Amino acid sequence: MKQRIHASQFLRQTVDYIVLAAAFLLTRQYIATKGDVFLSDFNIFLLAASLITWTVTGTSLRLYDDYQKTASFSFEFVAILKNVLLHVCVFSFLFFYFFKSYPYPRTFTLLYGGYLFTGIITTKYIVKKLLLRWRSQHANPKNVLIVGTGQTGMNFYHTITTNDHFGYNCVGFVDDHNNAQINGRYLGKLSELTHILESNEIDDVIVALPETAREQTAGIIMASERAAKRVKIIADVHQYCTSTTSMNLLGTIPLVNIRSIALDDPGHQRLKRAFDIGLTLFIFIAFSWLFALIAILIKITSKGPVLFKQERWGLKNKKITCYKFRSMKVQASEVDENGKFLQATRDDRRVTSIGRFLRKTNLDELPQCINVLIGNMSFVGPRPHATPLHIEAKETVEHYMLRQMVKPGITGWAQVNGCRGETRFSGQMKKRVDLDIWYIENYSFWLDCQIIFQTMMNMIKGDKNAY
């Protein structure tokens, strides 16, 4: 299986390199002038930089993951788009800062990006279809015997029959109880296992029995190994598993990690922290005038402090003090006549004139850069909620507290996907939580860059849910 995956990755990378080289040569052909050296040392350097950049970013964006992990072509499409955009940025940087004398740099960059995107998208789609078809026809699937006709066994059976590229063929079922759904594949009872193994061409025995059937499982393993068959056991916790589930051995004890979080890795934590500090210092230095201007406008348009402090909840469900530019009147109540927390609403009378603009453009969130420097927030992560909303949601929204496994952020995946503002209607908070969990399970440095870019675009064009 691993050799097959490595061969597939090598083929896909090789095809990409051919497309990159072809796109580069076509672009050079278009912009080459009379007497120009078509492939000078400098042009070879540019091509090498392109190949290296594509390799590094493609790997980090999981562009070459096995197709079992990236079943949908939309995943590859997004990764390709990010790669091409990064290429455009890299070449723009090189031409602007180092090679200003290069002929037609803008034409080269845009044309190369266009050729690259078109070529990669086309070849990726064709290669994926061909590889999956080849696998289904030449994969030489393993014959498996499923022990257990319960829900676990049936789920496994339906999975392998609807996904030919997994490379499994079900010979039949063995259990003390028959099941009408197995379509005539019932081979016999557990007591007949030895005879069944000897009478059929079987590679692997899949044990799909509940945890309570320990004695039966031990007997199945013993009988299978006597018949020289490999045994694989479906863990009885499969119903709790997610797409990021992993298993490690602690000595000889298998530990199943229900959710693997990328930010549990110290390297990812250090990278994210360095990025947060660098971006925060840049904002403080480059936009110090904006902080001062907003502070002055707040002071001259309404009475009260410039900054608004609110208790919220962060990493590991610990309280933090969240800073914002004050956008509401000081005397404004935070609760209604029934004592329920009042979220900001459209045309909210509590919002000041300058506050409405700040909230619409997200500029009221700028002081949370202080939280980022302190270390109790990040630039990107699940948005922290005020205490009343937090307490209510953790009791009513499934998986809500999983958000507290990472630092909260100034912006997040939920916010750039339209889930911001008040949560009056049923399901609004659940959708926000689902998007936050997706971010936690799929975190990458490049995803953070994408979210920050989308946030800036929303600030420029305006967000209908920002009020």
Residue type (1 letter), 272: K
Say how far residue 133 (Cα) sits from the centre of its chain. Answer: 27
- Give me the tens of pLDDT residue by residue for the chain, a chain 467 residues long: 445 556 667 778 888 889 888 888 888 777 766 545 556 777 788 888 888 888 877 777 777 776 555 455 666 777 788 888 887 887 777 777 666 666 667 777 888 888 888 888 888 888 887 877 776 665 677 889 999 888 888 888 888 888 776 778 888 899 988 877 777 888 988 889 999 998 888 889 999 888 778 888 889 999 888 888 889 988 877 677 777 777 777 777 777 777 778 888 888 899 899 999 999 999 999 999 999 999 999 988 888 888 989 899 999 889 999 999 988 877 666 655 555 666 666 666 788 888 888 888 888 899 999 999 999 999 999 999 888 888 888 888 888 898 999 999 999 998 888 887 666 656 778 889 999 999 998 888 888 888 888 888 888 776 666 64
* pLDDT score for 99: 66
- SS3 (DSSP) at 29: helix
Residue type (1 letter), 392: E
Residue type (1 letter), 16: D
* pLDDT score for 102: 67
* DSSP codes joined into one string, 201-242: --SEEEE---TT-HHHHHHHHHHHHHTT-EEEE--TTGGG--
* pLDDT score for 151: 86
Answer for the pair 61, 87: CB distance below 8 angstroms, yes or no.
no
* pLDDT score for 137: 63
Q: In this structure, what is the dihedral angle of CA atoms 194, 198, 200, 206, given to the nearest 10 degrees?
A: 40
Say how far residue 196 (Cα) sits from the centre of its chain. Answer: 44
* pLDDT score for 52: 85
What is the spatial distance between Cα 1 and Cα 203, in angstroms, rounded to a whole number? 14
What is the spatial distance between Cα 455 and Cα 367, in angstroms, rounded to a whole number? 16
Q: Which domains occur in the chain, in start order?
A: 2-138 (no CATH), 142-240 (3.40.50.720), 266-461 (no CATH)
Query: Which tokens belong to 439?
Result: 């971010």
Render pLDDT for 72-91 as a digit per residue (tens, 0 to 9): 566 677 778 888 888 788 77
Please state, in angstroms and as integers, the Cα–Cα distance from residue 140 to each residue in 10, 75, 146, following that order: 21, 28, 19
Please state, in angstroms and as integers, the Cα–Cα distance from residue 432 to each residue in 120, 260, 329, 406, 427, following that order: 33, 20, 28, 15, 9
Query: Which tokens belong to 408?
Result: 């909260």
Name the residue with tokens 């005038």: 289
* pLDDT score for 259: 78
Render pLDDT for 154-178 as a digit per residue (tens, 0 to 9): 888 888 888 776 778 888 899 988 8
Write the Ramachandran bin of 85: left for phi over 0, alpha for psi from -120 to 50, otherwise beta. Answer: alpha
Rounded to two decimals, what is the model's pTM?
A: 0.65
